[in-house]
Amino acid sequence: MKNINQELINDILEHSKISDKKLYGKIQAFLDLYEKQIKINKKLKKENSFFLEKWDKRNNSEHDKKDKIIEQQSRLAAMGEIIDAVAHQWKQPLNAISMLVDMLEDDFKDGSINNSYITDLSSTVHLQINHMVTTLNEFRNFLRPSTKNENFHVNTIIQNVRILMKDELITQNLYIDLDIEEDIVIFGNENELKHLFINLINNSIDAFNEHDIRERKLSIKCLRKNKQVIIEILDNAGGISPKIIDQIFKSNFTTKAKGKGTGIGLYMSSKIVAKNNGKISVRNIDQGALFTISLLESNI
């Protein structure tokens, strides 16, 4: 009987009982019906809460499954690109070693081989092999599944991304200008954040190609601000249409032609940032797009 003054009800019942027994009976029947309805409402509320809780759990479970599928699709797409990149990056040192072997045979016939020649040849070959090993190790580390969060330098993972994308950056005539303090450390999943930067750089490359921009500029800046690590990625690729800029982090959204875009790159980027307790935003500035990522700085 909440929200109803019990004394007032009792008073009304008493007066109706004295003045009009028929009215008293109707009032009493109404109050009985009211109390019965309250009990029914309580029961329905309890049942609804139970079903809503189950519905939320089911929806969350379906949402988690969807994200896992999208994450797997993104990783498979990255694997294909990286295998292709390995082949490209190994091609140059293998050609160099092959050329040195051919020169060695000719120089042996000419009798021009001495200790100095062998030392220089050995040094050059080992330099090429070390480059191949470094590249392979970086690719292996990137592809190795990791759920472990750890402290790492922002500058280190950006440099590793440049190794991973070296051939693509050369092919696309794109130099990345870095302005990163070497001692900035964050806590998170290193491989996931490498994936994030690869996604954003590839997004700029796609925009450069789409707008047929020849003089390409891309800069990555990292600074501290109120115990936050702010990472800014800016290009001059023409920016993002105001009509779609609010939608680019949505699942399955792509501006690319059919068959050329998966719609998972920027969506996965936003999920990676959120998973690492950060935020990502984008806005148009000058002649391009500025992506801003905010992450917590490590306490070490």
Beta strands per DSSP E along the chain: 150-153, 176-180, 185-188, 218-225, 228-235, 279-285, 288-296
- Residue 247 sits in a domain of what CATH number? 3.30.565.10
Stated length of the chain: 300
Domain that holds residue 101: 71-296
Same domain, 211 and 84: yes
Whether the pLDDT of residue 188 is over 80: the answer is yes
Task: Determine what percent of the chain is predicted with pLDDT higher than 90.
Answer: 21
pLDDT tens for residues 256-296? 554 444 445 788 788 889 888 899 999 999 889 999 999 98
CA 32/CA 267 separation, integer angstroms: 57
| pTM value > 0.75 | no
The answer to whether residue 225 is domain-embedded is yes
How is residue 123 written in tokens? Answer: 């040094």
CA 280/CA 205 separation, integer angstroms: 19
Same domain, 93 and 231: yes
pLDDT tens for residues 206-231? 999 999 999 999 999 999 988 899 99
pLDDT grade, residue 249 (50/70/90)? Answer: confident
Task: Give me the amino acid identity at 152.
Answer: F
Same domain, 178 and 279: yes
CA 101/CA 94 separation, integer angstroms: 11
Backbone angles phi, psi at 184, to 5 degrees: -75, 120
How is residue 160 written in tokens? Answer: 């590793």
- 87, 92, 94, 95: CA torsion to nearest 10: 130
Same domain, 48 and 138: no
How is residue 5 written in tokens? Answer: 């003054």
The answer to whether residue 38 is domain-embedded is yes
Lowest mean pLDDT among 63-72, 92-101, 103-112, 279-288: 63-72
Same domain, 86 and 230: yes
The answer to whether residue 167 is domain-embedded is yes
Enumerate residues 6+ apart whose C-beta is below 8 A from 211.
Answer: 237, 238
Q: How many domains does the chain have?
A: 2
Same domain, 94 and 172: yes
- 55, 58, 59, 64: CA torsion to nearest 10: 160
pLDDT tens for residues 162-187? 887 887 888 899 999 999 987 899 98
Q: Name the residue with higher pLDDT: 32 or 156.
A: 156
Same domain, 201 and 170: yes
CA 113/CA 20 separation, integer angstroms: 129
Enumerate residues 6+ apart whose C-beta is below 8 A from 203.
Answer: 265, 266
Bridge partners, 282 (sequence order)? 291
